[in-house]
Amino acid sequence: MAVKAIRAAWGGKAYRSGLRRCEGGPCLTPCPPPRVPKKESLIMARELQGKVAAVTGAASGIGLASTEALLAAGARVVLVDRDGATLKAACSRLGEAATPLVLDLLDPQACAALMPRILEQAGRLDIFHANAGTYVGGDLVDADTAAMDRMLNLNVNVVMKNVHDVLPHMIARGSGDIIVTSSLAAHYPTPWEPVYAASKWAINCFVQTVRRQVFKHGLRVGSISPGPVISALLADWPAEKLAEAKAAGSLLEASEVAEVVIFMLTRPRGMTIRDVVMMPTNFDL
């Protein structure tokens, strides 16, 4: 019987047979076996097995959580941070796939040594997570200009220099992933943190323009913009804003940000997740 005749005979109604929904009439063939949902995890498949990653600001917060997720996904990770004691303790806990690289990226010579030191320790680099950053909030008129200089240097200049130094190696290999930690503040002019927000707006522009220059070489460049995350940066938050966020449950866990980083890295090579904006359900600007 033709499909149209079957549909007419059943009045165009849908018919459910077994586990398969048949539109327009009864099943003409046996229903297939039930499809059992596959238990999924962003990192259980170890999709980054054999990859080499480097994460800056890796001793705590998002950087440490990103490192842990990368290791769980099978990558080897070079952890970059200026806090040598905390960094080495983390690597001791994380195992032999985690390598410490103690560098103060605000020191121009140390910053320039980043890529040579990574190659010295790991031999190559597949993934670079530019995560190191700091925070200056509050009214501009009250800000310490030395702290402003330090923050802008770390949040903007260091990121640009690090990516600059990583690119030749990745371009030569014809593959690589660069992820930069941005902020929800890069997407809204937050009046309580004008200098910090400006640094992240700059980084978003940087990510999008560099991406357009290098995707022809097989490189993927993207940014992740989380809302407030429980991390050391919150120590510099205005007290009233921090108290308000805690009371409302409006803070993300660093591990939640790391899960999204892994999601970005494990898409097919023909797909780039250029921007991710994530925030607690109870939070908005």
pLDDT digits (tens, 9 = 90+) for 204-215: 999 999 999 999
Same domain, 3 and 60: no
How many Cβ atoms sit within 10 Å of the Cβ of residue 33?
A: 8
Same domain, 12 and 132: no
Same domain, 3 and 102: no
Quick check: is 284 in a domain? no
Quick check: is 38 in a domain? no
pLDDT in the model for residue 237? 66
* Mean pLDDT on 154-176: 98
Same domain, 141 and 19: no
pLDDT in the model for residue 234? 64
Same domain, 115 and 206: yes
pLDDT in the model for residue 249? 73
Quick check: is 34 in a domain? no
Per-residue pLDDT reduced to its tens digit, 30-77:
444 444 334 444 444 568 999 999 999 999 999 999 999 999 999 999
pLDDT in the model for residue 235? 66
Same domain, 5 and 93: no
pLDDT in the model for residue 69? 97
Same domain, 5 and 115: no
How many Cβ atoms sit within 10 Å of the Cβ of residue 9?
A: 12
Amino acid in position 227: G
Sign of CA dihedral 216, 220, 225, 231: negative
* Catalytic machinery residues: 196
Quick check: is 41 in a domain? no
Quick check: is 195 in a domain? yes
Same domain, 117 and 1: no
Least confident of 140-149, 191-200, 243-252: 243-252
pLDDT in the model for residue 21? 40
Can you give the CATH number for the domain in which 84 is found?
3.40.50.720
E strands, 18-93, where? 20-22, 52-56, 76-81
Same domain, 245 and 105: yes
Instruction: Please determine, for residue 241, whether its predicted confidence score (pLDDT) is greater than 80.
Output: no
Query: What range does the domain containing 154 cover?
Result: 52-278
Counted domains in the chain: 2
The answer to whether residues 125 and 169 touch, using CB atoms and an 8 Å cutoff, is yes
